[in-house]
Amino acid sequence: MSEPLESREPPSWLTRAEWGMWQAFLNGSEYDLRSGEAELDDPNGDHDWGPERTVRARVIALLLLHGPPPLLGRVASLHISGARITDVLDLSGGVIEPYFELRQCRFEREVRISEARMHTARLVDCYIPRLEAARLSTDGDLHLPRCSIPEGIKLTDATIGTDLMLNEATVGSGRRIRAIAADGITVSQELQASLLVTDGEVSLRGATIGSSLHMFGSVLRNTKGRYALHAPQMTVEHVASFADANRGRSSQLQGSTTPATGTPVPFISEGGGRWRTKHFECTGGVVLDDGRFNSSLVIENARFELKRDQELSLRRIQTPELNFTPRAPERGLIVLSGATVEKLLDRVGSWPRDQRLWMAGFTYQQAIPKEGHFNVRERLRWLAAATPEYSPLPYEQLALMYRNSGEDTNARAVLLAKQRRRRETLPLVGKVWGYLQDWTVAYGYRPAQAALWMAMLWAASAMYFGAHPPDPLKGDESPHWNAALYALDLLLPVISLGQDNAWDPKGGPQWVAAGLILLGWVLATTVATGATRLLRRQ
């Protein structure tokens, strides 16, 4: 536990700017060193900030770790705007009691708060070369909106008591691969990273987010490594969103759950309009494998630029709803193998059509087109793209979905397509037999086709037997000859019309009669099966 100073008197070695900061800390008021001109106050600008705006990091550390007691009736806090902070601000392992907020400050060296404990920290619109915060623990928020951090952020195994805010921040990786290293981080409420721009890998492996993850309009790029977003085994209690930043989401972009300082988001379009939609963009691979999204995973209208060996990987994810409507990437793979989804919302143009979709073991209960029309033919093309080698499970999964929705015709169309794909894997004899079944009875999935064949055979055989009547079996006891009834009696199994047993065909007519009996069994069984399905559905 850090012991506070007993005296409120500032040390004699403080500079004038530091003396003013000391007094503001005692009073709990803001200490503003800005000039009032936006260009001169930009912490990312090239303008020099002189000694009148310069404070040493050791003085800030002294106030935060061992700060003097506040004036009576006041709460000590460090609230600085427009300061140039020299040296390394090192608070690692410390216990920080005062609230602190730094706005538009320029840090000359990195900030270290690894393994520190604090309540709430806000660094807004600051330039920070690098932020080291591994195993940081906060009771409240950690805010870094609009900050520029060119050497990256390390938040490995950090615990954030409420919200982590990275809206509009610009984070680089320097000489490293990772721009944001936050493996194992725990955020009790929201992780807001909308309009975030990164150059390097964003790693959230094993992250736990107690409410929602928002990445509206963010741009993630990693041209030096394999992944732009690497977040396997992530758990999000509500919604994870990788989608557009637009006017309809303005409240989420501004951090409606944490309004203390606000994070205004300007949208200025080329035409002078106030709002302009910004897409979520990702250059590099995305891994969300084994993730749990307990409300929904939204990948909406996003842009992915992948290399041929990179993936948008959703292996084994679990979520009640997957909203998947990005623009289909020109290269790379989309992988849904082993994923479990209750409701899939998608659109035709979001899926690649050239066998760059893998979804072996992907299960879903509903597949609903969110935009446009996604009929059964397009669903079958979707499956064909996902199964370069024949696999029955995707077809059976889609057929089950249609059957559960009461769309039995579509279910049969899917199962017929499955048999046709299977036929291509069979030897020559199997293929020939398969083509015969397809042409005649469509593998039993189109009973109307079998009924048509029966009608054609009945008509042809009636004409044949009309020209080649068989001899009566018992002379005068035979019924009146009727070629149509005789042919129908041969075609219909089980049912007898009293014609087939009364006549004695020989030679060619005998072979024709035998063929009609065999074909009748096959075709009538198919028609009966289709009628049974219809009656059961009704």
Whole-number Cα distances in Å, 257 to 280, 282, 317, 355, 388:
22, 26, 27, 43, 47
Mean pLDDT of 198-206: 96
pLDDT in tens, 274-287: 567 899 999 999 99
Residue 363: pLDDT over 70: yes
What counts of helices (H) and strands (E) characterise the chain? 10, 43
pLDDT value at residue 9? 79
Q: Residues 424-482: pLDDT tens digits?
A: 888 888 777 777 667 766 766 766 666 677 777 778 777 876 666 776 666 666 676 66
Q: To the nearest whole number, what is the mean pLDDT of the chain? A: 84
Domain ranges in the chain? 11-113, 130-248+279-335, 442-536
pLDDT tens digit sequence for 291-301? 999 999 999 99
pLDDT of residue 262 exceeding 60, the answer is no
What letters, b where the CB count within 10 A reaches 16 and e where it falls short, cover 377-388? eebbebbbbbbe
Residue 426, Ramachandran bin (φ over 0: left; ψ between -120 and 50: alpha; else beta): beta
pLDDT by residue (tens digit) across 301-354?
999 999 999 999 999 999 999 999 999 999 999 999 999 999 999 988 899 888
pLDDT for res 537: 43
Q: Residue 1 has what pLDDT?
A: 46
Cα diameter, the chain: 138
pLDDT of residue 331: 93
Query: In this predicted model, which residue has the larger pLDDT, 267 or 173?
Result: 173
More confident residue, 505 or 269: 505
pLDDT at 94 over 90: yes
- Could you tell me where the DSSP H helices lie in 405-507? 408-423, 428-441, 447-467, 483-491
**Average pLDDT in the 229-254 region?**
84
Question: Rounded mean pLDDT of 143-153?
Answer: 96
In this prediction, residue 268 has a pLDDT band, given cuts at 50, 70 and 90, of very low
Percent of the chain beyond pLDDT 70?
80
Residue 504: predicted pLDDT: 60
CB 328 within 8 A of CB 349: yes
Per-residue pLDDT at 265: 47
What pTM value is reported for the model? 0.79
Reply yes or no on whether the pLDDT at 272 is more than 70.
no
Query: Could you give the C-alpha distances from 211 to 163, 196, 237, 240, 296, in angstroms and in order?
Result: 9, 19, 5, 9, 12
Residue 471's pLDDT is what?
65
- The predicted model gives 367-396 an average pLDDT of 82
Would you state the pLDDT for residue 485? 73
